[in-house]
Amino acid sequence: MKGIAIEVSRLGKQYSMDGRGPKRAHEAIEQAVRGLMRRKEPKDPGSFWAVKDCSFVVRQGEAVALLGRNGAGKSVLLKMLSRVVKPSSGEAVIRGRMTALLELGSGFHPELTGRENVFFNGAILGVRRAEMETKLDEIVAFSEVGDFLDMPVKHYSSGMYMRLAFSIAAHVETDVLLMDEVLAVGDSAFQEKCLNRMRRAVRQGTTVVIVSHEVSVLAELCTRGLYMDHGKLLIDGALAEATDRYRKDTAA
Protein backbone atom coordinates (compact mmCIF):
# COMPACT_ATOMS: atom_id res chain seq x y z
CA MET A 1 0.00 0.00 0.00
CA LYS A 2 1.35 3.39 -0.95
CA GLY A 3 1.73 6.26 1.51
CA ILE A 4 -0.71 9.07 1.95
CA ALA A 5 0.02 12.25 0.03
CA ILE A 6 -2.91 14.42 1.05
CA GLU A 7 -5.02 14.01 4.14
CA VAL A 8 -7.89 16.42 4.58
CA SER A 9 -10.07 16.36 7.67
CA ARG A 10 -13.19 18.44 8.16
CA LEU A 11 -11.72 21.33 6.21
CA GLY A 12 -13.98 24.34 5.87
CA LYS A 13 -13.87 27.95 4.76
CA GLN A 14 -16.28 30.60 5.86
CA TYR A 15 -16.63 33.96 4.15
CA SER A 16 -18.52 36.91 5.48
CA MET A 17 -21.21 38.14 3.12
CA ASP A 18 -19.62 41.57 2.61
CA GLY A 19 -16.51 39.77 1.40
CA ARG A 20 -14.14 41.60 3.70
CA GLY A 21 -12.63 41.42 7.12
CA PRO A 22 -13.50 43.90 9.84
CA LYS A 23 -13.54 47.39 8.42
CA ARG A 24 -13.64 49.79 11.29
CA ALA A 25 -10.59 50.56 13.38
CA HIS A 26 -12.00 49.43 16.71
CA GLU A 27 -13.00 46.08 15.20
CA ALA A 28 -9.54 45.57 13.80
CA ILE A 29 -7.93 46.50 17.11
CA GLU A 30 -10.27 44.13 18.90
CA GLN A 31 -9.34 41.41 16.47
CA ALA A 32 -5.62 42.10 16.87
CA VAL A 33 -5.91 41.95 20.67
CA ARG A 34 -7.87 38.73 20.47
CA GLY A 35 -5.26 37.38 18.09
CA LEU A 36 -2.45 38.23 20.47
CA MET A 37 -4.33 36.52 23.28
CA ARG A 38 -4.92 33.55 20.96
CA ARG A 39 -8.67 33.64 21.42
CA LYS A 40 -11.04 32.40 18.76
CA GLU A 41 -13.15 35.16 17.33
CA PRO A 42 -16.92 34.87 17.29
CA LYS A 43 -18.29 34.00 13.86
CA ASP A 44 -20.10 36.69 11.98
CA PRO A 45 -23.74 35.67 11.43
CA GLY A 46 -23.81 37.25 7.96
CA SER A 47 -21.60 34.65 6.41
CA PHE A 48 -21.60 31.46 4.40
CA TRP A 49 -19.45 28.37 4.13
CA ALA A 50 -17.76 28.14 0.72
CA VAL A 51 -16.39 24.75 1.77
CA LYS A 52 -17.77 22.82 4.70
CA ASP A 53 -16.55 19.72 6.50
CA CYS A 54 -14.56 18.25 3.66
CA SER A 55 -12.63 15.10 4.48
CA PHE A 56 -10.77 12.83 2.08
CA VAL A 57 -7.45 11.10 1.61
CA VAL A 58 -5.32 10.94 -1.54
CA ARG A 59 -2.66 8.26 -1.80
CA GLN A 60 0.71 8.82 -3.40
CA GLY A 61 0.56 8.57 -7.17
CA GLU A 62 -3.20 8.86 -7.37
CA ALA A 63 -4.79 11.16 -9.94
CA VAL A 64 -8.01 12.60 -8.60
CA ALA A 65 -10.56 14.71 -10.44
CA LEU A 66 -12.41 17.36 -8.47
CA LEU A 67 -15.77 18.09 -10.07
CA GLY A 68 -18.67 20.35 -9.35
CA ARG A 69 -20.65 23.22 -10.74
CA ASN A 70 -19.47 26.84 -10.52
CA GLY A 71 -19.37 27.98 -6.93
CA ALA A 72 -19.31 24.46 -5.51
CA GLY A 73 -16.13 25.27 -3.59
CA LYS A 74 -13.52 23.44 -5.69
CA SER A 75 -11.20 26.39 -6.10
CA VAL A 76 -11.48 27.44 -2.47
CA LEU A 77 -10.58 23.89 -1.47
CA LEU A 78 -7.48 23.98 -3.68
CA LYS A 79 -6.59 27.44 -2.37
CA MET A 80 -6.69 26.16 1.18
CA LEU A 81 -4.52 23.17 0.29
CA SER A 82 -2.01 25.44 -1.44
CA ARG A 83 -1.88 27.77 1.60
CA VAL A 84 -3.14 30.79 -0.32
CA VAL A 85 -6.22 30.93 1.87
CA LYS A 86 -6.43 29.97 5.51
CA PRO A 87 -9.20 27.50 6.43
CA SER A 88 -11.85 28.49 8.99
CA SER A 89 -12.08 24.96 10.35
CA GLY A 90 -10.40 21.60 10.13
CA GLU A 91 -6.93 20.66 8.99
CA ALA A 92 -4.93 19.05 6.23
CA VAL A 93 -1.52 17.48 5.82
CA ILE A 94 0.33 17.29 2.52
CA ARG A 95 3.43 15.13 2.24
CA GLY A 96 6.05 15.80 -0.39
CA ARG A 97 6.87 18.83 -2.48
CA MET A 98 3.68 20.57 -3.49
CA THR A 99 3.08 22.80 -6.48
CA ALA A 100 -0.25 24.51 -6.86
CA LEU A 101 -1.21 25.85 -10.26
CA LEU A 102 -4.28 27.94 -9.54
CA GLU A 103 -3.53 29.95 -12.65
CA LEU A 104 -0.91 29.84 -15.36
CA GLY A 105 1.80 32.44 -15.57
CA SER A 106 1.51 33.82 -12.07
CA GLY A 107 3.25 37.15 -11.87
CA PHE A 108 3.80 37.42 -15.64
CA HIS A 109 4.43 41.07 -16.44
CA PRO A 110 3.46 42.30 -19.92
CA GLU A 111 6.49 44.61 -20.16
CA LEU A 112 9.00 41.84 -19.48
CA THR A 113 10.30 39.39 -22.06
CA GLY A 114 9.31 35.75 -22.16
CA ARG A 115 12.72 34.80 -20.79
CA GLU A 116 12.45 37.19 -17.82
CA ASN A 117 8.96 35.99 -17.07
CA VAL A 118 10.08 32.36 -17.14
CA PHE A 119 12.57 33.05 -14.37
CA PHE A 120 10.15 35.18 -12.40
CA ASN A 121 7.39 32.60 -12.62
CA GLY A 122 9.88 29.91 -11.63
CA ALA A 123 11.01 31.93 -8.61
CA ILE A 124 7.44 32.42 -7.49
CA LEU A 125 6.80 28.68 -7.77
CA GLY A 126 9.88 28.12 -5.63
CA VAL A 127 12.27 26.88 -8.31
CA ARG A 128 15.92 27.89 -8.04
CA ARG A 129 17.31 30.04 -10.81
CA ALA A 130 20.17 27.63 -11.49
CA GLU A 131 17.70 24.79 -12.03
CA MET A 132 15.48 26.99 -14.15
CA GLU A 133 18.47 27.73 -16.36
CA THR A 134 19.12 24.06 -17.01
CA LYS A 135 15.49 23.61 -18.01
CA LEU A 136 15.11 26.76 -20.09
CA ASP A 137 15.82 25.13 -23.46
CA GLU A 138 13.34 22.37 -22.79
CA ILE A 139 10.67 24.83 -21.65
CA VAL A 140 11.18 27.00 -24.72
CA ALA A 141 11.11 24.00 -27.05
CA PHE A 142 7.94 22.70 -25.45
CA SER A 143 6.20 26.08 -25.61
CA GLU A 144 7.13 26.62 -29.29
CA VAL A 145 7.62 30.36 -28.69
CA GLY A 146 11.04 30.09 -30.35
CA ASP A 147 12.54 33.44 -31.31
CA PHE A 148 9.89 35.37 -29.43
CA LEU A 149 11.50 34.41 -26.14
CA ASP A 150 13.25 37.76 -25.85
CA MET A 151 10.26 39.84 -26.81
CA PRO A 152 8.02 41.45 -24.17
CA VAL A 153 5.07 39.14 -23.57
CA LYS A 154 2.65 42.01 -24.24
CA HIS A 155 3.36 41.38 -27.93
CA TYR A 156 2.61 37.67 -27.63
CA SER A 157 -0.58 36.21 -29.01
CA SER A 158 -2.77 34.89 -26.22
CA GLY A 159 -2.02 31.35 -27.37
CA MET A 160 1.73 31.91 -27.19
CA TYR A 161 1.38 33.46 -23.77
CA MET A 162 -0.56 30.49 -22.44
CA ARG A 163 1.78 27.98 -24.08
CA LEU A 164 4.80 29.56 -22.40
CA ALA A 165 2.98 29.72 -19.07
CA PHE A 166 1.92 26.09 -19.29
CA SER A 167 5.40 24.97 -20.28
CA ILE A 168 6.94 26.44 -17.15
CA ALA A 169 4.33 24.76 -15.00
CA ALA A 170 4.80 21.46 -16.82
CA HIS A 171 8.53 21.45 -16.13
CA VAL A 172 8.33 21.98 -12.39
CA GLU A 173 9.16 18.69 -10.74
CA THR A 174 6.93 18.06 -7.81
CA ASP A 175 5.38 15.27 -5.77
CA VAL A 176 1.92 16.74 -5.35
CA LEU A 177 0.36 18.79 -8.10
CA LEU A 178 -2.83 20.80 -7.62
CA MET A 179 -4.35 22.21 -10.82
CA ASP A 180 -7.31 24.50 -11.18
CA GLU A 181 -8.56 24.42 -14.77
CA VAL A 182 -5.12 24.88 -16.21
CA LEU A 183 -4.94 21.46 -17.78
CA ALA A 184 -4.86 22.13 -21.48
CA VAL A 185 -4.23 25.36 -23.34
CA GLY A 186 -3.61 26.46 -26.89
CA ASP A 187 -4.83 24.79 -30.09
CA SER A 188 -5.80 21.14 -30.23
CA ALA A 189 -2.29 20.00 -31.13
CA PHE A 190 -0.81 21.78 -28.15
CA GLN A 191 -3.57 20.56 -25.88
CA GLU A 192 -2.66 17.02 -26.84
CA LYS A 193 0.94 17.80 -25.92
CA CYS A 194 -0.18 19.17 -22.53
CA LEU A 195 -2.16 16.01 -21.89
CA ASN A 196 0.77 13.80 -22.81
CA ARG A 197 2.92 15.72 -20.42
CA MET A 198 0.34 15.23 -17.68
CA ARG A 199 -0.02 11.52 -18.43
CA ARG A 200 3.72 11.19 -18.09
CA ALA A 201 3.70 12.96 -14.73
CA VAL A 202 0.96 10.65 -13.48
CA ARG A 203 2.86 7.58 -14.76
CA GLN A 204 5.97 8.78 -12.95
CA GLY A 205 4.07 8.79 -9.70
CA THR A 206 3.11 12.42 -9.22
CA THR A 207 0.03 12.81 -7.06
CA VAL A 208 -2.43 15.00 -8.92
CA VAL A 209 -5.65 16.75 -7.97
CA ILE A 210 -7.31 18.38 -10.96
CA VAL A 211 -10.25 20.73 -11.10
CA SER A 212 -11.72 20.75 -14.57
CA HIS A 213 -15.04 20.90 -16.38
CA GLU A 214 -13.67 18.87 -19.29
CA VAL A 215 -14.98 15.43 -18.40
CA SER A 216 -13.34 13.81 -21.40
CA VAL A 217 -9.94 15.13 -20.37
CA LEU A 218 -10.40 14.03 -16.80
CA ALA A 219 -11.28 10.55 -18.02
CA GLU A 220 -7.89 10.26 -19.69
CA LEU A 221 -5.95 11.10 -16.54
CA CYS A 222 -7.93 10.29 -13.44
CA THR A 223 -9.29 7.12 -11.93
CA ARG A 224 -10.95 8.66 -8.96
CA GLY A 225 -13.48 11.46 -8.67
CA LEU A 226 -14.60 13.85 -5.99
CA TYR A 227 -17.88 15.66 -6.51
CA MET A 228 -18.66 18.86 -4.63
CA ASP A 229 -21.86 20.86 -4.37
CA HIS A 230 -22.59 23.91 -2.22
CA GLY A 231 -19.31 23.51 -0.36
CA LYS A 232 -19.91 19.89 0.57
CA LEU A 233 -18.12 16.83 -0.68
CA LEU A 234 -20.97 14.61 -1.88
CA ILE A 235 -19.18 11.85 -3.78
CA ASP A 236 -15.79 10.29 -3.21
CA GLY A 237 -15.46 7.29 -5.46
CA ALA A 238 -14.73 6.07 -8.95
CA LEU A 239 -14.41 8.76 -11.59
CA ALA A 240 -17.52 7.57 -13.43
CA GLU A 241 -19.61 8.04 -10.31
CA ALA A 242 -18.53 11.67 -9.98
CA THR A 243 -18.82 12.47 -13.69
CA ASP A 244 -22.30 10.91 -13.88
CA ARG A 245 -23.49 13.09 -11.06
CA TYR A 246 -21.81 16.13 -12.60
CA ARG A 247 -23.51 15.49 -15.97
CA LYS A 248 -26.84 14.97 -14.27
CA ASP A 249 -26.57 18.19 -12.23
CA THR A 250 -25.39 20.35 -15.10
CA ALA A 251 -28.03 19.01 -17.48
CA ALA A 252 -30.83 20.01 -15.13
Partner 1 sequence: MVRAASASVVRISAERRFPERPLHSVWAARELLVVLAKRDVYLRYQHSFAGISWAILQPLLTVLVLSAFQLLMGNRQTTGVPYPLYAATALVPWTFVVHALTQASHSLPKHMGVINKVYFPRLILPLSAVMGAAADFAVGMALPPALMIYYGIAPGLTLLALPIFVAQAVALAAAAGIWLACLNARFRDTANSLPFVTQLWFFLTPIAYTTDIIPPQWQLLAGLNPMLGILEGFRWALVGVASPWLGTWIAMSWLVILALLGSGMLVFLRSEESLADFL
In the complex, which residues of this chain contact partner 1 (CB under 8 A)? Answer: 11-12, 15, 20-21, 25, 28, 32, 35-36, 38, 40, 79-100, 102-103, 106-107, 109, 111-112, 116, 119-120, 122-129, 131-132, 134-135, 171-174
Smallest distance, Å, CB 213 to partner 1?
19
DSSP H/E element including 162: helix 158-170
Residue closer to partner 1 by CB (options 103, 150) is 103
CB 126 to partner 1: min, Å:
5
Q: How far is the CB of 81 from partner 1 (least distance, A)?
A: 7
Strand partners, 152: 113
Identify which of residues 21 and 146 has a Cβ nearer to partner 1 in the complex. 21
Nearest-approach distance from CB 56 to partner 1, in angstroms: 14
> Which of the 8 DSSP states describes residue 252?
-
Q: Which is nearer to partner 1, 163 or 171 (CB)?
A: 171
Distance CA 191, CA 184 (A): 5
Give the number of other Cβ atoms within 10 Å of residue 159's Cβ. 14
The 8-class DSSP code of residue 229 comes to E
Closest CA to 250 of 210, 209, 215, 211: 215
Q: Which is nearer to partner 1, 126 or 237 (CB)?
A: 126
Under the phi-then-psi rule, with left for phi > 0, alpha for psi from -120 to 50, and beta for the rest, what region is 144?
A: left
Q: How far is the CB of 192 from partner 1 (least distance, A)?
A: 20
The CA radius of gyration of the chain, in Å to the nearest whole number, is 20
In the bound state with partner 1, the residue whose beta carbon lies nearer, of 149 and 178, is: 178
Specify the DSSP class assigned to residue 157: -
- Least separation in angstroms between residue 219's CB and partner 1 is 25
Q: Among residues 171 and 224, whose Cβ is nearest to partner 1?
A: 171
**Cα first-last separation, the chain:** 40
Rounded distance between C-alpha atoms, residue 21 and residue 24, angstroms = 9
